[in-house]
Amino acid sequence: MADTTASSGQSGGSTSNTINSNHLFYIHPSDNPGAMLVAVQFTGVVKNKLRFINGDCPRPRSNDLSYKQWERCDNIVTSWILNSLSKEIADSVEYVQDSAELWKELEDRYEQTNGAKLYQIQREINDLSQGSLDITGYYTKLKKLWEEISTLNAKAQCTCSCTCGAKALTHKAE
């Protein structure tokens, strides 16, 4: 559950435990497999458990003292991810070894840009008119479509270090 430190006196009578809530293996009493992290599309993990899915916290050997804690935390993270998926998708990935494998499987499956969806959103942007909407409502609708297209185009985004300013100009133009 947590990083605990036990110390006992010479007489063996006193034991004190401290719980470090920042430890990777800490699970808060409200953390449970049925908890829904998000009500919308799943894009990440909170509660100090990101390292389970990105591979920074690999499975320890089964004889390692931290194995049971790691397994418990990984099972919670796996449950959170599975609970955020539709039943059909969850059924297709429920037999993965751990949360990192589950995340990789989902990433491989859904990371590719969907050309038809990009076209549909671009068309919605082109067809959008203010009509009876006030300026705030119109901008909010347009901004949502821009963000959706930006998310789908994430692979096409430039990640290099730009010194000429072209990257900033492109971002501003978008």
Angle, in degrees to the nearest 10, between helices 115-127 and 135-152: 160
Residue 69 vs residue 34, higher pLDDT? 69
The mean pLDDT of the chain is 75
Give the model's pLDDT for residue 156.
54
Residue 82 vs residue 167, higher pLDDT? 82
Q: How confident is the model at residue 172 (pLDDT cuts 50, 70, 90)?
A: low
Give the model's pLDDT for residue 46.
58
**Ordered alpha helix ranges (H), 43-114:** 50-53, 67-83, 87-93, 99-110
In angstroms, the CA 171 to CA 174 distance is: 5
CB atoms within 10 A of CB 120: 13
Cβ pair 53, 97 in contact under 8 A: no
Give the model's pLDDT for residue 107.
83
Give the model's pLDDT for residue 22.
77
Give the model's pLDDT for residue 139.
92
> Using one digit for the tens of pLDDT, what is the confidence trace for 112-121?
666 777 888 8
Q: How confident is the model at residue 20 (pLDDT cuts 50, 70, 90)?
A: confident
Give the model's pLDDT for residue 143.
92
pLDDT tops 50 at residue 150: yes
Residue 159 vs residue 133, higher pLDDT? 133
In angstroms, the CA 162 to CA 171 distance is: 12
In angstroms, the CA 49 to CA 73 distance is: 8
User: For 8-12, 85-89, 119-123, 130-134, which range has the lowest pLDDT when averaged over its residues?
Assistant: 8-12
Residues making up the chain, counted from first to last: 174
